[in-house]
Amino acid sequence: MNQIEDMQTFVRIVEAGSITKAAEQLNTVKSAVSRRLSQLEKRLGVTLLTRSTRAHTLTEQGKSYYQHSLRIIEEVADIEAGLTQQNYALSGSIRIAAPLVFGLEHLSQALLAFNERHPEIVFDVDFDDRKVDLVEGGFDLAIRIAKLEDSNLIARQISSTRMVLCASPAYLKTQGTPTTPQQLSTRHKKLQYYRSLENWHFVEDNGQSVNIKIPTALTSNNGSFLLECAIKGTGLLYSPDFICHQAIKDGKLTIILKKYLANPTIPIYVLYPQNRHQSHKIRHLIDFLIEYYGDTPSWLID
Amino acid sequence: MNQIEDMQTFVRIVEAGSITKAAEQLNTVKSAVSRRLSQLEKRLGVTLLTRSTRAHTLTEQGKSYYQHSLRIIEEVADIEAGLTQQNYALSGSIRIAAPLVFGLEHLSQALLAFNERHPEIVFDVDFDDRKVDLVEGGFDLAIRIAKLEDSNLIARQISSTRMVLCASPAYLKTQGTPTTPQQLSTRHKKLQYYRSLENWHFVEDNGQSVNIKIPTALTSNNGSFLLECAIKGTGLLYSPDFICHQAIKDGKLTIILKKYLANPTIPIYVLYPQNRHQSHKIRHLIDFLIEYYGDTPSWLID
DNA sequence: GTTATTGTTCAAAAAATAAGAACTATAAGT
DNA sequence: ACTTATAGTTCTTATTTTTTGAACAATAAC
């Protein structure tokens, strides 16, 4: 039972004026069209077309069915075409999950810039450092700043960040500025981001790698707050450059032990579900983000 | 490509919340539903549902398609149900082809009586003694007063009429009242209906059948006019009783040679096209007509 | 770590549909 | 009135589409 094809066939018969002509126009044989019509009438339990060898007349029901069919066929076509257009249109909403600080400080700027070009798009950004389930949360994409784990999501790297170790000039003046990793062990405290590792990983001049653990002055799940604390001299901050770059440029924080840090570079990815047909606007936004941050993002130090 | 079934399947998936449940509700297996959904997405070139092992989320296009689908499914069901209702409803129009005199004098009364019971029905009656093509003319039914010829139409007898030979008392006084068919041959003239036979057919007392031909006083295609002429004494009238019954009851015409007429009874049929599904109102009207005229129609003489 | 549930994929079976030929009916041409 | 041509139906056979059922992969839930 294919109601739409029945409608299309019936409309063709009515407009062509004969089953034979309708069959030609539908690129099929008259027997198929004849059978379709009689099956349709049987299903509806109604005579649509009174037919003799060479003349046709629409019954009242036939007229009604014809008119409704015209409308339905058009509506269905519009709906299906509309979906594709929607797919290509740079409009509608994009729902994004982003880490707190990166989202507020950097992603927001990029999104605003994108929005200037494509004002029809409405962003719905959820700032949260916790790992969210894209599918369950209904997100179109998520920003993740970390090495990738296995998942059924697609990832594209949009930029990268570099970890730096820094402290306020005042703090360094009081506690001394360490020049080797080993010197951290004495008289230093760290500002601890709740998700990151307790130990800091260094590579010494001789190529030996070393794990250093120093006491924690304060733990928080908010990178900005830790930054404030570092500026106030509460302790050492081990932080991605996109968080502390401005404070460093302003001289409020000083980088230390730069050359000893192991694996300081962390990729920034955009993740999205494995959709067979990716919406055009999503692809467009990802391309935009890659271009926006580029090889020299604003948080780059030197 | 069955768009409506695709829509129904998709709606079921969305509302059931999972492909497996949707399959159960649709009395099929999950593989069929899964395949239908992926084929649909492929055809539309759009992801409707972002799905992982246990969670589903509608994409924007999915939401749009879901809502449109709901509406279209309902509309199509309404249209199809509407046709059946239309079929059973005693409303709408009935187009009838009827012979002139019978139509004006007798059918019209029956139709008005029917209309009193079913005022929603609008009659469209075409009065014409010529044989019309029901299909070409778009007629629902036709009245035919004659022995049936072969045709692809369905016939039901609704009543019958009897042919009588009559003349005005004044005419018979002048020309003499014939008591045997043979006596017609002298001094008589006939009023000729254009479609009827030139010869009159009789059965004599001895069982011998005989064809009599007498001169024509006047020919017309209008039975009422011939009746008027007969009353005025222009000639003999060979006529169905539904035309002359009142004049005979009023004594304006006298029946002659009644017992000699061969095959005086002519059936009155209602004809309609061979529709696989006859509309309820048409069947109803035919039943009404048979009941209305019954075995003793108003034109019956004794 | 194990089990249970969900969705996908695949080959085979079943159902629906189309094709092609034969047939009926009738309009048009002669 | 006869022949020819055209339109529609019906039937059997092909073809296409859809469904099934099983095996599999992925991942929540226990």
Mean pLDDT of B283-297: 92
pLDDT at B88: 84
pLDDT at B136: 80
Burial (CB count within 10 angstroms: exposed 0-12, middle 13-18, buried 19+), residue B87:
buried
Q: Tell me how far CA of residue B184 lies from CA of B175, B200, B230, B259, in angstroms.
A: 10, 10, 16, 15
Percent of chain A with pLDDT over 70: 99
Q: Quick count: other Cβ atoms within 10 Å of Cβ A92? A: 17
Q: Which residue has the tokens 């019309």?
A: B132
pLDDT at A114: 94
Helix or strand or coil: residue B159?
A: strand
Under the banding of pLDDT at 50, 70 and 90, the label for residue B225 is very high
Mean pLDDT of A110-136: 88
The Cα–Cα gap between B21 and B55 comes to 13
Instruction: Say yes or no: B64 contacts chain A, CB-CB below 8 A.
Output: yes
The Cα–Cα gap between B175 and B187 comes to 6
Q: Quick count: other Cβ atoms within 10 Å of Cβ A46? A: 26
Residue of B nearest to A3 (CA): B4
- Greatest mean pLDDT among A160-174, A287-301, B126-140, B271-285 lies in A160-174
pLDDT at A276: 60
pLDDT at B245: 95
Mean pLDDT of A265-292: 86
Residue of A nearest to B89 (CA): A61
Strand D nucleotides below 7 A of a protein CB?
6-11, 17-23, 25-29
Distance C10 C1' – A55 CA (angstroms): 50
Helix or strand or coil: residue B65?
A: helix
Annotated domain spans of chain B: 3-88, 92-160+266-293, 161-265
Measured between beta carbons, the chain B residues lying within 8 angstroms of A63 are none
pLDDT at B296: 87
Measured between beta carbons, the chain A residues lying within 8 angstroms of B65 are 79, 83
Which residue's CA is nearest to the C1' of nucleotide C27?
A: A54
Report CA torsion sign: B153, B155, B161, B163: positive
Enter the DSSP assignment of A188.
-
Angle at Cα B200 formed by Cα B195 and Cα B203, nearest 5°? Answer: 145
Q: Is the pLDDT of residue B257 over 70?
A: yes
Mutate to test the interface with B, among A54, A65, A83, A150 (most CBs of B within 10 A): A83
Mean residue pLDDT across chain A? 89
pLDDT digits (tens, 9 = 90+) for A137-172: 788 899 999 888 767 788 899 999 999 999 999 999
Under the banding of pLDDT at 50, 70 and 90, the label for residue B111 is very high
Residue B100's contacts (CB-CB under 8 Å, 6 or more residues apart) are B127, B128, B129, B222, B223, B224
Q: How many residues appear in chain A?
A: 302
Would you call B136 and A55 a contact, using CB atoms and an 8 Å cutoff? yes
pLDDT digits (tens, 9 = 90+) for A15-63: 999 999 999 999 999 999 999 999 999 999 899 998 876 778 899 899 9
Nearest-neighbour CA in chain A from B140: distance (Å): 9
Helix or strand or coil: residue A138?
A: coil
User: Out of 2.60.40.10, 3.40.640.10, 3.40.50.11810, 1.10.10.10, which CATH number does the structure's domain A3-88 have?
Assistant: 1.10.10.10
DSSP string, B162-199: EEEEEE-HHHHHHH---SSGGGGGTT--EEEETTS-SS
Q: Quick count: other Cβ atoms within 10 Å of Cβ B246? A: 16
pLDDT digits (tens, 9 = 90+) for B23-81: 999 999 999 999 999 999 999 988 899 887 677 888 888 888 999 999 999 999 999 99
Mean pLDDT of B239-249: 95
pLDDT at B186: 80
**Domains A92-160+266-293 and A161-265 equal at CATH topology level:** yes
- Nucleotide nearest A32, CA–C1', reads C18
Burial (CB count within 10 angstroms: exposed 0-12, middle 13-18, buried 19+), residue B241:
buried
Distance D14 C1' – A30 CA (angstroms): 17
Would you call B68 and A79 a contact, using CB atoms and an 8 Å cutoff? yes
Would you call A277 and B46 a contact, using CB atoms and an 8 Å cutoff? yes
pLDDT digits (tens, 9 = 90+) for B137-185: 888 999 999 887 767 788 899 999 999 999 999 999 999 999 998 888 8
Helix or strand or coil: residue A161?
A: strand
pLDDT at B151: 72
Q: Tell me how far CA of residue A12 lies from CA of A33, A46, A66, B78, in angstroms.
A: 10, 19, 10, 22
pLDDT digits (tens, 9 = 90+) for B184-219: 888 899 999 987 788 899 998 888 889 988 999 999
Percent of chain B with pLDDT over 90: 60
User: Out of 3.40.50.720, 3.40.250.10, 3.40.190.10, 3.90.1150.140, which CATH number does the structure's domain B92-160+266-293 have?
Assistant: 3.40.190.10
Q: Under a CB-based contact definition with an 8 Å cutoff, are residues B275 and B149 in contact?
A: no
Q: Quick count: other Cβ atoms within 10 Å of Cβ A289? A: 23
Distance D6 C1' – B93 CA (angstroms): 32
Measured between beta carbons, the chain B residues lying within 8 angstroms of A152 are 52
Instruction: Say yes or no: B46 contacts chain A, CB-CB below 8 A.
Output: yes
Instruction: Say yes or no: B34 contacts chain A, CB-CB below 8 A.
Output: no
pLDDT at A150: 66
Would you call A64 and B42 a contact, using CB atoms and an 8 Å cutoff? no
Q: Under a CB-based contact definition with an 8 Å cutoff, are residues A48 and A59 in contact?
A: yes
The Cα–Cα gap between B170 and B130 comes to 33
Task: Look up the CATH number of domain A161-265.
Answer: 3.40.190.10
Q: Under a CB-based contact definition with an 8 Å cutoff, are residues B50 and B60 in contact?
A: no
pLDDT at A187: 86
CA A14 from chain centre, in angstroms, equals 49
Q: Chain A window 3-32: which residues touch B at a Cβ cutoff of 8 Å?
A: 3-5
